[in-house]
Amino acid sequence: MEILADKLRPKKLDDIIGQSHLIGEDKILTNLVKNKKLFSMIFYGKPGIGKTSIANALVNELNLHYKFLNATINNKADFDTAIMEAKMYGDMVLIIDEIHRMNKDKQDLLLPYIENGTIILIGLTTSNPYHKINPAIRSRCQIFELHELDSKDIKAGLKKALKNFEDIKVDNDTLEYIANLSSGDMRFALNLLEVSYYSGDKTITIETVKKINSKPVFFHDKDGDGHYDVISALQKSIRGSDVDASLHYLARLIEAEDLDIIYRRLSVIAYEDIGLANPGIGPRVMAAISAAELVGLPEARIPLGEIVVEMALSPKSNSSHLALNAALNDIHKGNTGNVPDNIKTSSTTYLYPHDYPNDWVKQNYMPKNLIGKKYYIQKNNKIEENLNKLHKEMRNEK
């Protein structure tokens, strides 16, 4: 029996819900279909936001021969068969789900056929391909991040799905509740709607849904912005050194099992808000993330809780973040200038600092029009004070 989520899978890009940065007038995927051209690509993002649907829509609209494989489930023989089919048809689109789990043997098998165009690869993954996918595969693909669906997107999908049920009775508040409960996962929302319909008397209420899924709704408010508010609140609580509030918002994200956004946000906070005040925090955050990924939920909460406490209690500095922003601002304004002659690749006047006392020698590194420009402004914390003290001593400054 076909489930609702599969039955409603879009046949064309116009049926896709969300992803307006990729689909629509003058957007890249729509233009590819318009120009009847497809390249190897990787879609990544959270579950249930349209990766498989977009892949299916592309091959259907372009009327291309395709095969769907899963990197975890399908073995090397299945990939051999796919290559034989591709050779027979002259070309073929190979859609690979969970591509981040594809082992080296399968990758080595596919690479030459992706290279010569016999296979057009569409990879699907919930993991960041820049971290989890072999560079040899990644370099041959265009990478597109799919954005999370908000509650309005989910409600639109649910309302479209209602046409597939006879005599269904469901009010707007219940649809809103299902949308909020889904945390941006359209497949989850559709499955929950279908189970709610068949488990009762065709009348779906919030109480009906709660009997099926008692998971609390934490993220969303009436405007559908609550998900992003919780993420923002976590960062601002850590930045503000409120350890209890930090743990509260971490707990909400853990309860929603939104580990990817926790990993990304903690990594940002380590360098944006704590920075040079505690430069060892970055590697410790990565160690906590690795431990959380290794053990999975529910134990993942243990290393994540510990690192969030440490981050909230840590001294804070955004000096390096502000310094780079200031440098980037100059670049955007075109305020650059030529690299000084003494540090060009072919320079014969470069002074090698390691040949001098304290491994430092006075020479100019800035473009002529930026000499004397200051981007970095020290913050008052022990680490930066010590770093700047050592820096002055190296330069024999008082």
pLDDT greater than 70 at residue 125: yes
**Residues linked to residue 123 through DSSP beta bridges, in sequence order:** 42, 96
| Tens digit of each residue's pLDDT (9 = 90 or more) over 288-313 | 999 999 999 899 999 999 999 999 99
Give the integer Cα–Cα distance in Å for 238 and 279. Answer: 16
Q: Is 117:94 a contact under the CB 8 Å cutoff?
A: no
Q: Can you count the helices (H) and strands (E) in the chain?
A: 18, 7
Q: What's the pLDDT at 47? A: 84
Helix, strand, coil proportions of the chain in percent (round to 5)? 55, 10, 35
Q: What's the pLDDT at 224? A: 41
Percent of the chain with pLDDT over 70: 95
Give the integer Cα–Cα distance in Å for 352 and 311. Answer: 39
Tell me the average pLDDT of the chain.
Answer: 89
Mean predicted confidence (pLDDT) in 127-132: 79
| Tens digit of each residue's pLDDT (9 = 90 or more) over 90-119 | 889 999 999 988 888 888 888 999 988 899
| Tens digit of each residue's pLDDT (9 = 90 or more) over 46-79 | 888 899 999 999 999 999 999 999 998 999 899 9
Q: What's the pLDDT at 221? A: 41
Query: When comparing pLDDT for 60 and 258, which is higher?
Result: 60
pLDDT greater than 60 at residue 264: yes
Q: What's the pLDDT at 319? A: 94
pTM of the model: 0.59
Backbone angles phi, psi at 143, to 5 degrees: -110, 130
